[in-house]
Structure 1
Amino acid sequence: MKACAGDWVEVLSKEDILRTLDKNGRLDELPFMPQMFKYCGQRFRVYRRAYKTCDTVSGHYAGRRLQDGYHLNLRCDGQAYGGCQAGCLLFWKGAWLKPVDGPAQVQYVPKRVHSPSAEAASPPRCTESDVLGATKRHGAGGDAKYSCQATELLNYTKPLSWWDARQYVDSYRSGNRTLPEIARGFLYLFYYYGTLAFSDRWGHPARWLYNRIQAITGGIPFPRLRGTIPVGQPTPRRDLGLRPGDLVRVKSYEEILATLDVKLSNRGLSFDAELVPFCGKVFRVSTCVERFVDEKTGKLRRMNTPAVILEGVSCKALYSGQRMFCPRSIHLWWREIWLERASVEARPKVTLSSIQAGASATAEHVHPT
């Protein structure tokens, strides 16, 4: 199947999907996860073609290539994974989907082989129980280790160099990105490297000019500045007691930098450049993350202090050199000290003019990854 963003597709029946899976519930090493069965027979628009993704397992955060992959804007509910609250975007293989003309639902009638001998000769290699059983195993110490699309990412993808131009062509041809979006992304990278904005020693004028231009045009401030707290010193904490549905405003970039150490961390949670475009804006709380599956180990981890996921806020991959235009749309996590309660009448703050001094020695740049 070859579909683009915005095209309508229908998820095949459970029986048809099981026929594509091996005994471990995988196709080309991509796990089909138990919660995906509930979408069988339903129709959705393609959210993004997943021709590439980003490596969140090894810690390199580089690009990875994926064959025949799609995102339908459906996320993992975590029920089969110890109640994980990360809400990862699900990957779908083209073999699990079929193109359709529109959203009209039709009664799905699975194809049946009328020859008993043919059915006996090709029994399903995988059952629904196999899919569920493949989600978890117990180690020698009895600790559960989970296996999902996030933990197995390196097994069903291949390395993708940032200079491979085909991925940027695919970004446009797939409908994932528009030409203006791609142009703005490359303009940022050319400016970042071409003007030495990345340099501690020589980059101050370029960062200052970037912020001046963005303040005039209403754009996003230079997104790779350092925090102000020396490594080893404690970073501040603030508890707002947030709950899903609460309305919050993201603080200004300048205010958030004051809560970060020079490695852009607040009590272990990093503040990435992809969070900067949301500063000063108002959102509702979607989830307060207390537990998640560690993609590196497969173990369920609990947060000492819950992180916050905001409705409609995910990574756009606009400022990340090695994973530009990644379609994975990972939820961005926020500390409560980066937020403040807001009223229904709240409006976003204008923050660009307040960070003119952000490129000074008290807030140095960070190299993109």
Structure 2
Amino acid sequence: MTTHYEVDGKMIKGGEQVEVRSKAEILATLDKSGTLDGMPFMPQMFDYCGQRFTVYKNAYKTCDTVSGKYIGLHLDDTVHLPIRCDGKAFDGCQAACLLFWRTAWLKPATPSGDASAAPVPFPSRSCTEADVSAGTSREVDGRKLYRCQATCLLEFTRPMAWWDVRQYADAYRSGNWSIAQILRGLTFLGYTYGTRAHRRKIGAPARWLYNKARFLWGGVPFPRRPDLFPQKKTATSNAVLDLKPGEFVRVKSFEDILATLGKDGSHRGLMFDAELVPYCGKVFRVMTRVERFVDEACGEMRSLKTPAVILDGVVCQSKYSGQRMFCPREIYSWWREAWLERVEPMALAQHDDVQRKSAA
């Protein structure tokens, strides 16, 4: 692999200014299938050619959402810009994934305002824009299977062992995380796995102690509570709010949401993940309803049987995710309406007034 991950020995960090290369330059980096080292360049990404962006985060690490294994994955030569997939090339997929950008598709912007005239890093590989578009799907046994960065994730990453200390060094070197955030994350991991707090029975004392001590630093309740999941299948709330984009909702309390979950920690098949716990009790705007999405594991389009919504700015923060901790991918969280309650305009105004007074 030709590396463009570091420039003059320095990792590209969030906050740096870059310009997306021209269409011709990018096509010259791609093979006939529209990929560079296994990573697809997706059709909608051409819309950003010639535009300048601030690097959002360095994508040295990501999470495995394909194989079902609870592990982190390592990437080379990749960053995230503040750009998400619009789904237009994938028949309206609504997952809105944060896109991956190879550094070969970018060039630095100089302080003077002129983009660096760095040469195209690869000889032409004879890829065309039509090849890129054709690579987004294929027919297999009468089924349409989609191909995007999310479905091809395992083709341009490699597994990362939890004990590989380089990932924790890179968490800091990348500029994605501060020393304090990294230490808090490692402390949580050490406590969780050292005391077996994530285990249903033997971890109960450790969870109790965590919840007593958390008030000292204002933390959230221990986010993994298998002890509170019903032992037998129970009826769960089927609340349907018919939420629309632009409406405001309050996320219910952790305890109220736990009451809606089955013995596997899900509500009608959708898991309530530990990364959702920090949002409990807070107010957010509904960004969109999720009705269809590409299944990353198989490439097929799926439709949700039970309503789910995405809340504006509510993403996985990878604070409690074990081997996937410090992942910068920021996947949007999906919320069942049973976990939310509508906030009327008057109540929202009162909430904002209380917030302003408490901050004064």
Relative to the length of structure 2, the TM-score reads 0.89
Counterpart selection for 1:22 from 28, 31, 36: 31
Distance (whole Å) between structure 1 residues aligned to residue 71 and residue 116 of structure 2: 40
Please tell me whether the aligned partners of residues 10 and 99 of structure 1 are also in contact (alpha carbons under 8 angstroms).
yes
Partner Cα distance (2:350, 2:96) in 1: 27
CA contact (8 A) 2:196 2:202 kept: yes
Kept in 2, the 8 Å contact 1:5–1:176? The answer is yes
Verify: 1:154 aligned to 2:154, yes or no.
yes
Counterpart Cα distance in 2 of 1:66 and 1:196: 30
1:345 to 2:354 alignment: no
- Indicate how the Cα distance of structure 1 residues 150 and 248 shifts in structure 2: closer, same or farther if over 3 A, else same: same
CA distance in 2, matches of 1:279, 1:183: 24
- Is 2:189 the counterpart of 1:189? yes
Q: Once structures 1 and 2 are overlaid, which stretch shifts more, 122-131 or 250-259?
A: 122-131
Secondary structure of the residue aligned to 1:317 is coil
> Which stretch shifts more, 250-259 or 59-68?
59-68
Partner in structure 1 of residue 9 of structure 2: none
Q: What is the CA deviation profile of residues 153-208 of structure 1, one whole-angstrom value per residue up to 9, with x for unaligned ones?
A: 01111111111000110000010100111011011112212334234333222211
Cα distance in 2 for residues equivalent to 1:248 and 1:102 = 43
Q: CA deviation at 1:102?
A: 5.5
Q: 1:281 to 1:25 in 2, by over 3 A?
A: same
AA aligned opposite 2:90? Y
Q: Assess if the C-alpha contact under 8 Å between 1:145 and 1:298 holds in 2.
A: yes
Shift of 1:89: 0.5
Deviation by residue 1:47-86 (Cα, 9 ceiling, x = unmatched): 1111111110001131111111110021000011110000
Partner of 2:358: none
Would you say 1:59 and 2:63 are equivalent positions?
Answer: no
Counterpart of 1:337 in structure 2: which amino acid?
A
Deviation at 1:271, TM superposition (A): 0.5
Aligned counterpart, 1:138? 139
Using the aligned pairs only, state the percent identity: 56
Q: Which residue of 2 aligns with 1:327?
A: 328
Paired residues of 1:8 and 1:103 also in contact (CA < 8 A): no
Report the AA paired with residue 14 of structure 2.
A
* Structure 2 counterpart of 1:63, one-letter code: G
The 5 A counterparts of 1:120-131 are 125-131=126-132
Distance 2:119 2:225 in 1: 57
Q: Which residue matches 2:241?
A: 240
Q: Secondary structure at the match of 2:304?
A: strand
1:38 is aligned, of 36, 47, 53, to 47
| 2:107 equivalent to 1:98 | yes
Contact 1:49–1:69 (Cα < 8 Å) also in 2: yes
CA-CA distance at 1:103 after TM superposition: 10
For the pair 1:206 / 2:183, whether they are aligned, the reply is: no
Query: 1:355 aligns to what?
Result: none
Compared CA separation, residues 123 and 172, structure 1 to 2 (3 A): closer
Specify the alignment match of 1:252 in structure 2. 253
**Structure 1 residues 136, 286: CA separation in 2 closer, same or farther (over 3 Å shift)?**
same
Taking structure 1 as reference, are residues 96 and 107 closer, same or farther at Cα in structure 2, changes over 3 Å only?
closer
Q: Alpha carbons of 1:54 and 1:188: their partners in 2 closer, same or farther (altered >3 Å)?
A: same
Q: Could you tell me which amino acid in structure 1 is paired with residue 250 of structure 2?
A: R
Contact 2:34–2:135 (CA under 8 A) maintained in structure 1: yes
Change in CA separation of 1:261 and 1:123 when aligned onto 2, cut-off 3 Å: closer
2:274 aligned partner: 273
Matched-pair contact (CA < 8 Å) for 1:231–1:263: no
- In structure 2, the CA distance between the partners of 1:253 and 1:128, relative to structure 1 (3 Å rule), is same
Residue identity matched to 2:197: A
Superimposed CA distance per residue, residues 81-127 of structure 1 (whole angstroms, 9 cap, x where no aligned partner): 110000001000010001113595x6999989xxxxxxxxx765111
CA separation in 1, counterparts of 2:162 and 2:87? 32
Aligned 8 A contact 1:54 1:62 in 2: yes
Partner in structure 2 of residue 224 of structure 1: 224
Corresponding residue to 1:85 among 88, 94, 117: 94
Decide whether aligned partners of structure 1 residues 339 and 103 sit closer, same or farther in structure 2, where only a CA change above 3 A counts.
farther
Separation of aligned partners in 2, 1:69 and 1:107: 19
- Using a 3 Å threshold, how does the CA distance of structure 1 residues 229 and 72 change in structure 2: closer, same or farther? same
* Residue 74 (structure 2) pairs with residue 74 (structure 1): no
Alignment partner, residue 357 of structure 2: none
- Which residue of structure 2 aligns with residue 363 of structure 1? none
TM-score (norm 1): 0.86
1:190 aligned partner, one-letter code: G
SS at the partner of 2:299?
coil
Cα deviation, residue 216, structure 1: 4.4
Which stretch has the larger CA shift, 123-132 or 63-72? 123-132
In structure 2, the gaps of 5 or more residues are 7-11, 353-360
